[in-house]
Amino acid sequence: MSLDNLNATEARRQELLGQLKTAESALRGGLHIQGFGSIARAHMERAMAHLCEAYIAINEVNRARTVEQLVNDLVRIQQVMDDATRGKSQRI
């Protein structure tokens, strides 16, 4: 790959990272807005997880999870949190 091609690829990578940062900022701001319910918040939280994984995929080749792996991990985390919440409410 020529130096010009490498520079062009890096410029596109930096542009994409900038777009991801803009999207992350918007989502973080949206997480603080009240009145849209838990479903909207859950979607924004999941979108944040996907943004983070996209950042990893761009910066650390072969380190990112597939979308399916990420979703499965997020589902397992939610199940653990739900189980913990249920266990806590049963002890009260």
What is the pLDDT, as a whole number, of residue 87?
A: 81
Q: What is the pTM of this model?
A: 0.78
Tokens of 46: 């999941």
- The contacts of residue 65 (CB under 8 Å, 6+ apart) are 53, 73
Amino acid identity of residue 73, one-letter, is D
Average pLDDT of the residues in 61-74: 92
pLDDT in tens, 7-61: 999 999 999 999 999 999 999 999 999 999 999 999 999 999 999 999 999 999 8
Residue 74's φ and ψ, nearest 5 degrees, are: -65, -40
* Per-residue pLDDT band at 90 (split at 50, 70, 90): confident
Q: Which regions of the chain does DSSP assign to beta strands (E)? A: none
Tally of domains in the chain: 1
Cα separation, 37 vs 42, whole angstroms? 9
The domain containing residue 61 runs over which residues? 3-91
